[in-house]
Structure 1
């Protein structure tokens, strides 16, 4: 599954990171999913915060 996410568009629902400037509704493009399962995203606002499944909530979007 991790290889299937690369290049997909994603929308943030919520994150557990208190220091990020990302907000619900922000969108980005999945760069890679690492061996730990972290989804590394190139966010449209310039952030590169990785999402941790089970801690962060997100959805794939069609664009």
Structure 2
């Protein structure tokens, strides 16, 4: 599965996080704050957690904005 492209300001929904210590559950929503030079997608999750997503390890979808 290809990693979706995300940019700062995009809303995302977590599908899977490989971090064994996270308390984030699949379905958690958040806002992308930064995509760094390594491709890590930094997210401020709606529950207040700040955690980056790693391409190839974590899975998410970009949520289409309402029309």
TM-score, scaled relative to structure 1? 0.90
- Aligned equivalents of 1:46, 1:36: Cα separation in 2: 24
What do the CA deviations read for 1:14-59 (whole angstroms, capped 9, x no partner)? 0100100100000000000001100000100011010001000000
Choose between structure 1 and 2: higher helix proportion: 1
Structure 2 unaligned spans of 5+: none
RMSD between aligned residues: 1.3
Structure 1 unaligned spans of 5+: none
The total of aligned residue pairs comes to 61
Deviation at 1:62, TM superposition (A): 2.2
Runs of 4+ in 1 over 2 A off after TM superposition: none
- Aligned equivalents of 1:33, 1:5: Cα separation in 2: 6
- Aligned equivalents of 1:42, 1:55: Cα separation in 2: 18
Instruction: Give the equivalent residue in structure 2 for 1:50.
Output: 52
- Aligned equivalents of 1:28, 1:40: Cα separation in 2: 10
